[in-house]
Structure formats: C-alpha cells, structure tokens
Amino acid sequence: MLTYPKVILFDWHATLVDTYDAMYHAIDDVLGKFDRLGLLTRLTDPEHSRTVEDAKLVEYVRKTRKLHPKIIADKKISRTDLFEVLFDVDEDAKEIAHLEFNKCYGRHFDEIHPFEEDTDLMLIELREMGMKLGVITNRDREFLEREINVIHVNGWTHYFETLVCGDDVIKRKPAPDLIFKSLKKMDMNPGLDCWYVGDSTTDTVSAKRAGVTNIFYNGAQWDQNWLDKIFPGTKKHPHKPDAVVNNNKEIIQLIKSCPQGCIE
C-alpha cells in the first residue's frame, strides 16, 4: 500500500538530469589520488561486497585506480553508489572521497541536460496536481545552483520549494539527513505521504532510514534480475523500494492511480 503523496523529493543526477560525462571525469580524477588520500588501503574486502559484480569493481579500482570502461559506457552508476561499493561501512573514507570529488567536479562541469525530454513537463504537471516538490542531492550547493539555473531555457528553480545539498548537512546520503532537512524547511514531518524518487540503492536506503516512501527511478533500465541483486532483502541489505518506475510518465500514473489515497 502506497500513501498518496503531499510532497515529492527528487534526486538530481540520473533522476532529473544527466551529468554523467562530467561526473565520470571527476571520479577518475579522485581514483587517481587514492594513494595520496590514503584510501587505497581502505577499500572494502571483496568478500563483503553485495554482489559478485561489486567485488570485481573493487578489485579493478584497487589495481588500476580507474573506472572500468564498461561502467563509463553504460552510464548506470552514480558516484554515491560507487563510493558505497568501494568503502561499504567506512563512513570516514566515503566523506574523504566525496570532498575530493567536489574539488574535481568543478573542473569538468559542462553541459547539462534533462534526463528525459519531458522532465520539465512532468514537474509542471506535478505542481498543477498540488504537489510540493524538492531536490536533495549529495552534490555541493555551488554545483547544484549552477546546474539548476542553466538547465533547459529558464532554469528549474521555480519548480521547487526546497533544494538541499550535501554540504548543507553533517552526513550525506545514505544517511537520512538531507530528507529530514528538506521536510523541516517545508514544515512537514517524515512520513509515507512524502515520496523520495531516486535512481540509486543509496537513495532507497536514505528514504527507508528517514521513514518516507521510496520510488526507485529505473532510468538505467535494469531488468528484474539485476534489481533483485541490488535489493537482496538480506540482513545486511534489507532495504527495498516501495515501487519501481521506468520513466516520468510512470511517476504520474502511479499518483493518478491512487485517487483515494492508497495504491494496492
């Protein structure tokens, strides 16, 4: 059962917009500095990885200090999920990696495009339906504000009641701090009438820890086999999305199919 939303929070990259090229350039810069940053020895033991593919990724980064070309070509993993794979429970290592990423990202910021052609039309329709909208992102504010003001023709700032960024809180996703801060700014309490739409397992964990509804945006078009792998429902990785959508139209359909406030 899904609760009809009063507020919808969106992840930024790979949910609303495509910034893959700049992101992967910056990630490669960070990986090349792992020795100097003391992060190489802090990579997680592959035996603790969630999937065989995650373990292979850790080993590839350990040996090459680079992203595998297939990851770059596929454009399906975000830097937040990457750092989760590489460092698992080592929160200090993840924060060092995030801070270094922010230093590198500014050198590669370039064009930004809607993730889907009709993304702005979806945002308009949601506003017309009376939804309060917000953006939460692990990206630092200086980058989000630059990107949200140049996207499309007139920018998208006017669609959102709140924008909360990684450097606005103590802990980035998968901690729930970004969601809590967003809801507080809108005078709302965490609950199932808040939907958080995001493309990564990190987004799902953050939503579940915050006690809000998670809608997994499957922009990467993962098949069910892979979704079962990344959301195994195990003791270590118990969190699963409340619903999965493959595009913007399905977000609207999901809401419209719930006129009485719930969906079966």
Q: What is the average per-residue pLDDT within 20-42?
A: 95
DSSP state of 75: T
41: left (phi over 0), alpha (psi -120 to 50) or beta: alpha
Sorting pLDDT into bands at 50, 70 and 90, what band is 263?
very low
**What CA–CA distance (Å, rounded) separates 158 from 145?**
12
Q: What is the 3-state secondary structure (H, E, C) of 106-128?
A: CCCCCCCEECCCCHHHHHHHHHH
Which of 73, 105, 137 represents a domain boundary (last residue)?
Answer: 105
Q: Give per-residue pLDDT as tens, 224-233.
A: 999 999 999 9
Q: Which of 258, 228, 214, 242 is nearest to 15 (CA)?
A: 214
**One domain for residues 142 and 39:** no
**One domain for residues 171 and 98:** no
Report yes or no: 230 and 250 within 8 Å, Cβ to Cβ: no
**One domain for residues 63 and 37:** yes
pLDDT at residue 261 tops 60: no
Amino acid identity of residue 142, one-letter, is E
pLDDT at residue 241 tops 90: yes
pLDDT at residue 29 tops 90: yes
pLDDT at residue 11 tops 80: yes
Q: What is the average per-residue pLDDT within 22-44?
A: 95
Sorting pLDDT into bands at 50, 70 and 90, what band is 109?
confident
Report yes or no: 30 and 100 within 8 Å, Cβ to Cβ: yes
Full DSSP string of 124-193: HHHHHTT-EEEEEESS-HHHHHHHHHHSTTT-SGGG-SEEEEGGGSSS-TTSSHHHHHHHHHTT---STT
**One domain for residues 89 and 120:** no
Q: What is the average per-residue pLDDT within 75-101?
A: 93
pLDDT at residue 260 tops 70: no
For 48, the 3-state DSSP assignment is helix
Report yes or no: 123 and 159 within 8 Å, Cβ to Cβ: yes
Q: Identify the CATH number of the domain in which residue 116 sits.
A: 3.40.50.1000
Exposure letters 27-58 (e unless 16+ CB within 10 A, then b): bebbbebbeeeebeebbbeeeebbeeebbebb
Sorting pLDDT into bands at 50, 70 and 90, what band is 245?
very high
Q: What is the average per-residue pLDDT within 122-138?
A: 96
Give the pLDDT of residue 252. 96
Q: What count of other Cβ atoms lies within 10 Å of the Cβ of residue 240? A: 17
Does 48 or 121 have the greater pLDDT score? 121
Report yes or no: 8 and 133 within 8 Å, Cβ to Cβ: yes
Domain that holds residue 151: 2-18+112-263
Sorting pLDDT into bands at 50, 70 and 90, what band is 198?
very high
Q: What is the average per-residue pLDDT within 153-164?
A: 94
Give the pLDDT of residue 203. 97
Give the pLDDT of residue 191. 97
Q: Are strands 113-114 and 17-18 parallel, antiparallel or unpaired?
A: antiparallel
**One domain for residues 27 and 14:** no
Give the pLDDT of residue 180. 98
**One domain for residues 28 and 89:** yes
Q: Percent of the chain beyond pLDDT 70?
A: 97
Give the pLDDT of residue 4. 95
**One domain for residues 159 and 244:** yes
**One domain for residues 50 and 153:** no
Q: Give per-residue pLDDT as tens, 177-192.
A: 999 999 999 999 999 9
**One domain for residues 122 and 224:** yes
pLDDT at residue 169 tops 50: yes
Give the pLDDT of residue 84. 94
**One domain for residues 42 and 62:** yes
Which of 86, 105, 124 represents a domain boundary (last residue)?
Answer: 105
Q: What count of other Cβ atoms lies within 10 Å of the Cβ of residue 213? A: 22
**One domain for residues 210 and 124:** yes
pLDDT at residue 258 tops 50: yes
Give the pLDDT of residue 259. 61
Q: What count of other Cβ atoms lies within 10 Å of the Cβ of residue 100? A: 20
Report yes or no: 40 and 67 within 8 Å, Cβ to Cβ: no
Tell me the CA end-to-end span of the chain in Å, nearest whole number: 5
Domain count, the chain: 2
**One domain for residues 125 and 11:** yes
| The two structure tokens encoding residue 223 | 């098949």
Give the pLDDT of residue 76. 85
